[in-house]
Amino acid sequence: MARSTKIILAVVVLLVLIQLYPVDKSIPKYDTSQGFLQVYDPPEDVKQILQNACFDCHSYQTQWPWYSRIAPVSWIIKHHVSEGRDYFNFDTWGQLTPKKQRHITEEMYDEIEEREMPLTGYVWMHKEAALSASERARLLNWLKTL
């Protein structure tokens, strides 16, 4: 067997074997009344913008795409979601101190205004998350009211 054939076979075997280690997508129990949307009750258009652009990484309401079941891509996606939830989670918003809530809403404003969020790589794969100029302005104006 040629060396290149052995390498290809080894890579294929490795790709098959890593599928045996799926990522944990379980959701812990949490108080649904403590969510950002419940605390602030934003207008429907703002709620929709947040859900489309932010919730996959910053809530327990992640919509896992089909490719999130294929390692090693699944590991990368899980890492991004975990980072987002660790930074802040819309579903556990009410558990934060008022000072932390203010800080995060200020950072949300800055990140959206500077077009840092949603992440370019995420928008590339999720076109519905791309914020139009009017959606960005609407969201920023609403965030100013908090």
pLDDT of amino acid 119: 93
pLDDT of amino acid 95: 95
2 compared with 123, residue with greater pLDDT: 123
DSSP-H helix ranges across 41-132: 44-53, 55-58, 73-87, 98-113, 120-125
- Residue 24 is classified by DSSP as P
Weakest-pLDDT range from 4-18, 75-89, 132-146: 4-18
Q: Is the pLDDT of residue 1 over 80?
A: no
- Residue-wise pLDDT for 34-74, tens only, equals 999 999 999 999 999 999 999 999 999 999 999 999 999 99
State the average pLDDT for the chain.
Answer: 94
Pairwise CA distance, residues 131 & 120, whole Å: 11
pLDDT of amino acid 16: 82
Reported pTM: 0.87
- Residue-wise pLDDT for 76-96, tens only, equals 999 999 999 999 999 999 999
Buried b (16+ CB within 10 A) or exposed e, 91-104: bbbeebeeeebeeb
pLDDT of amino acid 128: 94
pLDDT of amino acid 22: 87
